[in-house]
Every structure is written in C-alpha cells, then in structure tokens.
C-alpha cells in the first residue's frame, strides 16, 4: 500500500487536509493541584499556538515531570493510578508505554489529552488526540462520516468533510466501504476507520490506547506492519500504550516500562533498530527479554513505593 | 465484505415471498383475536348476559356497519386530537428531557413535578381547562400532552445518560464543544430511547383522548369517539359504544405500528440484530 496521506493528487493541499495544527506545537501546560487554576484553554488559535510553541523552547511533544494521579472508584475508595511518572517524547518520535493491566496506562493518556488533571507534577504536551481502546465509531454514521468527524467538528460542511475523508479511504484499504455502517465492517476495518478519524483531527500528537488489542493475531500483525509503514511515510509524534511488549518494540523508538499500580516508570529502553521490524528479529527478541525482566522487577517492587525509580 | 456481496439465491427467492411472509407474521395475532371473539360470541349467545350489558361481537359489527359515517366522523376528530397531542408531547418531552440532561438544577426542579403531574386526576382540572379555552380542541390537547409527555421525558433522559462516557471523552479530544458533543454524540444516541417513549406515549395517547373527551365538555354534532362512547352508554346504546371502542382499539394498533415503521427510517442503526436460537 502506498502511504503518502494528504499528499495524494486528490488532496493537493496537504495543510488543509491535516488541519492547520499539522506538525504544529500548540503546547499546553497543566500544573499542580486539581482544585487549582482553571485548565489552560485547548484548541488555541493559530497565533496563540505559535506563541506557546515559542515559549516552550522544547523539541518535546510530551513532557511529563513527576506526575501523580489518583481517582475515586465507584465505591469511593481512592486509587493511586500514577506515582511520580516522568516521560519525555521528542517531536516526531514514537513512544510506547508498556505495563501490566491496571497500571494507569489509560490514565496517562487521558492526562496527556487533557481529559484529566494531574494531582501533582506537570504535564506539558502538544495538542493531543485520543484513539481509545474500543473504536467507538458512531453507529448512526457511515464509515466516511465517522472518519471525518473531527472535520465536521472543526466546522466543515458534511459534503466537504466527506470528500476529504473519502480521499484517504483507498490508501487505508477501505475503498468501497465509504457508505458502510460500522457494524458492517470487520474489526480491522473499524480500527482503520478509527485511526483515520484520529489522523484527520489534524492534531500533532496521537495517543493510541491499545489500538490493536481487540484484533485477532493475523489482523493485528497486518495492522502493525501497516502502522509502521504509515509512520515511516508521515512521521507524527505517537504515544502508544499497550500490554504487548513485542508490539511496543516493533513500533516504537523508545519503550517505557511501567510498574503495577501505582504506575511508575521502572525502565526506559531505546529501540535503535531500522524499520520495518519483525517480531522474530533477534534484536527485537533481545529487547523483549530486557523489557520482560523490567516488567517482572517492576512487579516485584510494586508494593514498595519508593524503590521504583532506582531501576531506571 | 460479505455485506456488500450480492445476496445469495435463496435470499432473492425469499424476497418474492416477502409479502406472503408478512401476512403470515400477522397470522398469530389474527388467530388469537378470532379465538377471543369466538369465546365472547359463545358467552353472550349462551344467554349469560343481556346485550345492554355486553353485546355480542356480531351485534357490534352490525352496529359499526350501520353507523360507519358517524364513527368515521368521530374517529377523524379523535385521531386529530391524538395525532396533534402526541406530537406536541413528543416535542415537549424530548426538549424537556434534553434540558433536564444538560442542567442538574433543572433536573432537581422539574423532575419531581413531572412525576407528580402524572397523578393529577384529569377530571379535577377539566372544568378549569374549559373555563380557559372553551369547548374546542385545545383543552383536549392539553390533557393528552399531560398524559403523554412523561414517558418521553423519562426515556429521553435515560437515553442521554446512557451514552458511553468514553465516547464523550473521544469527542472532547477531537475538539468538540459541549454543544457539538450533544449534537454529534448524545442526541442521535438518545433517539432510539426517545422513540420507545414515543411508542408508550402513543399507546396511552389513545386512552388519553378518551379521558380528555370525558373530562372536558364538548359541543357540536361530532365530539370524538370518547364522547360518543359515554353518550351511548348513558343512552343504553351499548352495541354502538362497543363499536366505537373497537374503532379506538384498531386505531391504537395502527398508530403503534406506524410509529414502528417511522423508527426504521429515523433510527435504522438501532434495529436489533438478534442472536437466534435454532
């Protein structure tokens, strides 16, 4: 498949396709205390976005420093999801976060997307868009209308949004399914539509929450290859959360390993391997060993809150 | 994929028999109705009750036949009341449901009163309504709306509240405002629930029209089926009262299934796919 999204003849004006925030750097800052000041405005104007980017003096799309977050569950007991997490992702890089179930990975993404505020620490990120674990396609919209949802929200007319969305369907192997309803699509296709919806938001930072975990093994591998190709052709900053260590290594530039709840970073691996990578490459397997060891050690120290960072 | 392939041969053949199939689907209801009518007929014919207390089905049918003009004229009036009243109730109920969803303050203020309004005996306020609006259709509409809006409010509020919170989070990260989240996410999601409320509203709307015609005075030659039923009962013309009731009965069924058809158009995605047991 050819992947020059947005640079196809049908879309002679790529900046339009990707929205003006493309590769942009609208930085938002969130500081301590959830009762504190109002969260900074999202959806900054173009000028304001440029100013923010200038002020930030940073090549990082994601800067988390000593971030902690707790929430109350339904019964009212407080759950410490994250304890002192620091993570940085340079613009244009792919950062994977792996960890056992319930280690606060989803909370991490929600903090980055501004859906929640940290209890402590700072979160500074480019404007981020979330691709949730479930595809969450709207059942009453056709595939193309789902993909182009962000364009509608940004004010495009239905016809214009459809045209811009449909232009990418062929590249994602979805042509002919523009008018299909989500329930008529296979799991892999739904996931691709959801990914397209994420891309078309035009935000510079993509947060993918277990994007492939709902798929069967074969579709999953196809999607991994597809995603690798996509990111090779059109680098974006990507935060990908997964519990699949191999997937993280195949896709990412760096892999952060979280401990069980409360989540903290117990190891960070740099994956300096050329793409595309295979799950069976010996280097991938070696890194996998390293990551698995870190996961196990993280699990064993998970109960003693202060020892986590020493493993980095 | 499979959904876009041409239908298999047996499906096309089945399509040819779709009409017959539909008729066949109505068969159980028709048989049950026939059995009940037969039992009723037998009960009366055996001399158990006088026809002033309970007329036999054949008497009712004959009465309906010979009073077709009167029944049609009264049905027209009652159908107008029900149609307009339920429509108003739907709009009012849906808007109120959305407002209650959006504003916790409004929920606390309005919800208890809306519940209480369902306990107000209509006869109590009938005189007042006539005093305000006279003998026309307006007091009847008010009564029907009062009876019908409530199920729409409840189902709409529940439908809006049942929207997946993750869906709303997603819409937020896509840049949606509160209003856009409502427009793109919540309102369409609530439509099937609101339509369920509409079905209940329509079913109670028909008896609502009877109550309305009973509790508010009417003038003119034709005053609706409800009014006719009451007049016939008082005049010991029980068979004609039953004929009018039978018309209401069929009218309610027709309304219900018309709305079911409308649902397929308004919310095709909500048509249930049922897992079938062999």
Average pLDDT, chain A: 76
What is the domain-level CATH number for residue A290? 3.40.50.300
For chain A, the straight-line distance linking the first and the last C-alpha, in angstroms and rounded, comes to 39
A-chain CB neighbours of B269 within 8 Å are 139-140, 181, 183
B76 and B211 belong to one structural domain: yes
Within-domain flag for A195: no
For residue A48, pLDDT over 60 is answered with: no
The boundaries of the domain holding residue B257 are 55-267
Both tokens of B24, joined, read 């066949």
How confident is the model over B167-180, as pLDDT tens digits? 998 998 888 899 99
Residue A136 belongs to a domain: no
Of A130, A138, A177, the CB nearest to B169: A130
Q: Are B210 and B85 in contact (CB under 8 A)?
A: no
Same-domain check for residues B25 and B158 = no
At B17 the three-state DSSP class reads coil
How far away is chain A from the Cα of B260, in angstroms, using its nearest Cα?
Answer: 18
Asked if residue A195 lies in contact with residue A169, where contact means CB atoms within 8 angstroms, the answer is: no
Mark yes or no for CB contact A153/B176 under 8 Å: yes
Using the Cβ of A140 and the Cβ atoms of chain B, whether some distance falls under 8 Å is answered with yes
* Binding-site residues on chain B for chain A (CB distance < 8 A): 1, 3-4, 164, 166-167, 169-176, 180, 184-185, 188-189, 191, 267, 269-270, 273
ipTM: 0.71
Beta bridge partners of B54: none
pLDDT category of residue B247 using cuts at 50, 70 and 90: very high
How close, in Å, is residue A131 to chain B by CA atoms?
7
Domain extent at residue A77 = 20-127+204-311
Q: CA of B182: which chain A residue's CA is closest? A: A153
Residue B180 resides in a domain: yes
Residues B59 and B35 grouped into a single domain: no
A220 within a domain of the structure (yes/no): yes
Q: Is A179's Cβ below 8 Å from some Cβ in B?
A: no
| Same domain, yes or no: B147 and B36 | no
* CATH code, domain carrying B73: 1.10.3720.10
**Average confidence (pLDDT) over B257-264:** 85
Residue at A5 is within a domain: no
Q: Are residues B35 and B170 in the same domain?
A: no
Single pTM value for the model: 0.73
CB atoms B173 and A201 under 8 Å: yes
Dist CA A89 CA B185 (whole Å): 32
Residues of B in contact with A153 (CB under 8 A): 171, 174-176, 180, 184
Together in a domain, B14 and B118 = no
Quick one: average pLDDT of A207-229?
82
Domain count, chain B: 2
Chain A residues touching B172 at Cβ < 8 A = 113, 115
pLDDT > 50? residue A185:
yes
Q: Residue A46: inside a domain, yes or no? A: yes
Query: Do residues A84 and A264 touch, judged by C-beta distance below 8 A?
Result: yes
- Counting residues of chain A whose pLDDT is more than 90, the rounded percentage is 6
- Interchain contact, B170 vs A138, CB within 8 Å: no
**Is the pLDDT at B256 greater than 80, yes or no?**
yes
Of B167, B180, B270, the CB nearest to A153: B180
Q: How many domains does chain A have?
A: 1
């Amino acid at each position: 498949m050819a992947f020059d999204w947005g640079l196809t003849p049908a879309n002679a004006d790529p900046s339009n396709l990707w929205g003006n925030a493309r590769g942009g750097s609208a930085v938002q800052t969130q500081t301590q205390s959830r009762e504190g000041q109002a969260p900074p405005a999202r959806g900054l104007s173009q000028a304001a976005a440029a100013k923010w980017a200038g002020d930030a003096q940073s090549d990082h799309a994601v800067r988390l420093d000593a971030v902690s977050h707790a929430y109350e569950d339904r019964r009212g007991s407080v759950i410490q999801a994250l304890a002192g997490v620091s993570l940085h992702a340079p613009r244009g890089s792919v950062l994977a976060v792996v960890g056992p179930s319930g280690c606060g990975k989803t909370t991490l993404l929600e903090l980055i997307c501004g859906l929640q505020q940290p209890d402590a620490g700072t979160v500074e990120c480019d404007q981020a868009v979330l691709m949730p674990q479930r595809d969450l396609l709207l059942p009453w919209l056709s595939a193309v209308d789902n993909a182009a949802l962000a364009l509608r929200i940004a004010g495009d007319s239905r016809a214009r949004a459809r045209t811009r969305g449909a232009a990418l369907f062929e590249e994602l192997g979805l042509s002919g399914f523009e008018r299909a309803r989500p329930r008529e699509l296979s799991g892999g296709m739904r996931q691709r539509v959801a990914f397209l919806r994420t891309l078309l938001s035009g935000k510079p930072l993509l947060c993918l929450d277990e994007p492939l975990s709902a798929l069967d093994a074969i579709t999953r591998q196809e999607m991994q290859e597809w995603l690798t190709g996509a990111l090779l052709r059109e680098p974006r900053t990507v935060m990908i959360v997964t519990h699949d260590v191999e997937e993280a290594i195949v896709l990412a530039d760096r892999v952060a390993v979280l401990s069980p709840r409360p989540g903290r970073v117990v190891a960070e691996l740099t994956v300096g391997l050329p793409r595309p990578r295979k799950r069976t490459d010996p280097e991938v397997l070696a890194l996998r060993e390293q990551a698995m060891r870190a996961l196990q050690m993280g699990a064993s120290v998970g109960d003693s809150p202060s020892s986590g960072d020493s493993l980095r | 994929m499979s959904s876009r392939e041409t239908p298999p041969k047996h499906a096309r053949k089945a399509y040819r028999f779709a009409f017959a199939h539909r008729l066949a689907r109505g068969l159980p209801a028709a048989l049950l109705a026939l059995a009940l009518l037969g039992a009723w007929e037998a009960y009366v014919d055996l001399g158990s009750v006088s026809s002033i207390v309970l007329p036999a089905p054949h008497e009712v049918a004959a009465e309906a036949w010979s009073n077709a003009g009167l029944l049609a004229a009264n049905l027209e009036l009652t159908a107008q009341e029900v149609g307009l009243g339920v429509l108003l109730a739907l709009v009012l109920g849906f808007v109120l449901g959305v407002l209650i969803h959006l504003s916790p303050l409004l929920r606390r203020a309005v919800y208890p009163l809306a519940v209480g309004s369902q306990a107000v005996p209509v006869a109590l306020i009938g005189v007042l309504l006539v005093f305000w609006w006279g003998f026309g259709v307006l007091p009847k509409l008010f009564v029907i709306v009062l009876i019908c809006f409530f199920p729409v409010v409840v189902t709409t509020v529940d439908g809006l509240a049942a929207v997946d919170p993750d869906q709303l989070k997603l819409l937020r990260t896509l840049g949606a405002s509160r209003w856009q989240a409502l427009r793109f996410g919540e309102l369409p999601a609530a439509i099937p629930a609101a339509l369920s409320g509409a079905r209940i509203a329509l079913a109670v709307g028909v008896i609502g029209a009877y109550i309305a015609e009973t509790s508010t005075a009417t003038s003119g030659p034709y005053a609706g089926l409800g009014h006719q039923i009451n007049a016939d009962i008082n005049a010991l013309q029980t068979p004609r009262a039953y004929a009018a009731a039978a018309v209401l009965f069929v009218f309610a069924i027709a309304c219900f299934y018309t709305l079911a058809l409308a649902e397929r158009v308004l919310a095709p995605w909500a048509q249930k796919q049922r897992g079938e047991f062999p």
